[in-house]
Structure 1
Amino acid sequence: MSYADSRLATLEESVPAPLWRFVWFVFEWIPIAIVAGLWEFASGTVVQRTILPPPSAVGTATWELLSTGEIIPHLQVSLYRIAVGLALSIVVGVLLGVGMARSKPIENVFEMFLALVYPIPKAALVPLAILWLGVGTETAILIVFLACLLPIVMNSYNAAQDIDRNLIWSAQMMGVPSWQIPLRVVIPATIPSILTGIRQAIPIAFIALVSAELIASNQGVGFEILRYSQVGAYTLMFAVLVIISLAAFFTVRGYEWAERRLIRWA
């Protein structure tokens, strides 16, 4: 431990826990406060107020959209698409990652495919997805699924490769069939890394979802952002951006809270 870390640990021990949590809360929000202050200053001075509405106006519009319930149906549609796309990527990603780590033929088949396909921007696949699935929920789910797949695959793959071989040998000695080892031994042992991959995929899911809804949807928050921008309602457009940002923030924080309790034993 460095000198600075030891001093910080000593200070943390000497300060009451509620006060320490409040101090850290303030420090976490200082960057956001600075950005909001610069934004407020730039609105109407550096950039026209009609194009860059101030945070005060955006905050009011955000409250109006939420209190009137106007944005709620679109938010529900978007969250549903994220949930389905992310769930599919978790199932496929974990099975594929563990399969690649446990089977050389599977790794040879999919490793090159993932390396070639993943760098393609997922928004570039939207027109093709529209031809396949049409405009709507299915296309958005497909884009979210593709965007979230690689982080989960790679975390599952790396964890399964690094698993303690003694666990596998012990299971084999206890009579566990070879075909059951991935499900009964490998996947449970790699849960912490799998959860990390899911944590990385959640923000990606929101980014991919909005990108897809901007192009291939007639509902959802991405569609609302596009609709407000087209009619010049930039305050409402920024308000929808704030709402989806808050939804992503609370989703990640809620997931982290659940993750800490799920892998308390790890």
Structure 2
Amino acid sequence: MSYADLQLGALEETLPAPLQRVVWFVFEWIPLVIVAGFWEFASGTFVPSTVLSPPSEVAFVTWELLVAGDIIPHLQVSLFRVAAGLVLSISIGVLLGVGMARVKPVENFFEVFLALIYPIPKSALVPLAILWLGTGTETSVLIVFLACLLPIVLNSYNAAQTVDQNLIWSAQMMGMPSWQIPLKVVIPATIPSILTGIRQAIPIAFIALVSAELIASNQGVGFEILRYSQVGAYTEMFAVLVLISAIAFFAVRGYEWGERKVVRWT
């Protein structure tokens, strides 16, 4: 723990709860305010404002895009793709990770495959996905699924390997069939690690989504970013980037809030 953390912790102990939240809020957002201030100063000073729009102008255009509603259909398409890819990766990743940890043939079969696809940038698979599925939602969902699969599999696998053997023996002594043990014993015991893997996968999902939509879509935020950049509408391009960044940020924060509620009971 750093000296700054110790000082902040000591300060927190002397403040009432409402002021503690204010202090943490200020410390959390100060870096963003500093970056925005430097960005505002640099635009038109070091970098032409036609290339690097100031954040005040970007904020105004972001509001205009939302009020006009032009960006809303694209946001809806992108969020559907993220959700679909995440749901698929969670459903398959948890079962695959637990299966690899508890059944040796499953581990032997999938270990090499996962090791081979891990170092490949998922955006590099977009042309192949276009060949198979065409341009559209299916390709974007596939890229999101592949990008999110590994962190969920690894967290599920590592957690399932460390499950207390006494839990499994107790279930067996109570007459639970072997095929039910992974579903009723192992997976519930690994929930905290599975939730961690999902939290890691959420920002990866947005990265993969935009990468796929830049190449293989005529809808979505990635398509809008590319379209605005091609016509030189850089302020609008920055506005879409800000929107998707904010959505991803609040998606992670909302998930962390829900995760704390769930883990409290696990």
Under TM normalisation by the shorter chain, which class is it?
A: over 0.9
| Matched residue type, 2:24 | W
Residue 56 to residue 186, structure 1, CA distance change in 2 (3 Å): same
Of 38-47 and 238-247, deviating more is 38-47
Aligned equivalent of 2:236: 236
1:126 equivalent to 2:126? Answer yes
Which residues of 2 match residues 27-176 of structure 1 at below 5 A? 27-176=27-176
TM-score under structure 2 normalisation? 0.97
Give 1:190's aligned residue: 190
RMSD: 1.4
- Shift in Å, 1:3: 8.3
Q: CA deviation at 1:14?
A: 1.8
3-state SS of paired residue (1:15): coil
Amino acid at match of 1:198: I
Q: CA deviation at 1:13?
A: 2.5
Cα pair distance change 1:175/1:12, threshold 3 Å: same
Residues 182-208 of structure 1 show CA distances to partners (whole Å, capped at 9, x for unaligned) of 001000000010000000000000000
Distance 1:98 1:28, change over 3 A: same
Separation of aligned partners in 2, 1:9 and 1:71:
43
Residue 52 of structure 2 aligns to a residue whose secondary structure is: coil
* Residue 20 of structure 1 pairs with residue 32 of structure 2: no
Q: Deviations over 1:145-178 (max 9, x none)?
A: 0000000000000000000000000000000000
Q: How many residues align?
A: 266
User: Residues 238 and 152 of structure 1: is their aligned pair in 2 closer, same or farther, counting only changes over 3 Å?
Assistant: same
Aligned to 1:212: 212
Q: 1:4 to 1:70 in 2, by over 3 A?
A: closer
**In 1, distance between residues paired with 2:227 and 2:262?**
41
Q: Which amino acid aligns with 1:255?
A: Y
Structure-2 change in CA distance of 1:9 and 1:23 (3 Å): closer
Question: 1:47, CA displacement in angstroms?
Answer: 1.1
* Paired letter, 1:181: I
**Can you list the C-alpha shifts for 1:195-225, whole angstroms capped at 9, x where unaligned?**
0000000000000000000000000000000
Q: Which runs of 5+ in 2 are unaligned?
A: none
Q: Deviations over 1:10-69 (max 9, x none)?
A: 432220111111011011111101111111111112111101010011000001011111
| 1:256 Cα offset (Å) | 0.7
Which deviates the most, 134-143 or 30-39? 30-39
Query: Structure 1 length normalisation: TM-score?
Result: 0.97
Could you say which residue in structure 2 is the equivalent of 1:248?
248
Identity %: 80
229-238 vs 7-16, which moves further: 7-16
Distance 2:207 2:10 in 1: 40
Structure 2 Cα separation of the partners of residues 155 and 164 of structure 1: 16
Distance in structure 2 (CA, Å) of the matches to 1:37 and 1:10: 30
Structure-2 separation of matches of 1:65 and 1:239? 8
Any gaps of 5 or more consecutive residues in structure 1?
A: none
Deviations 1:244-265 (A, max 9, x none): 0011011111111111111112
Distance 2:171 2:181 in 1: 7
Q: CA deviation at 1:70?
A: 1.1
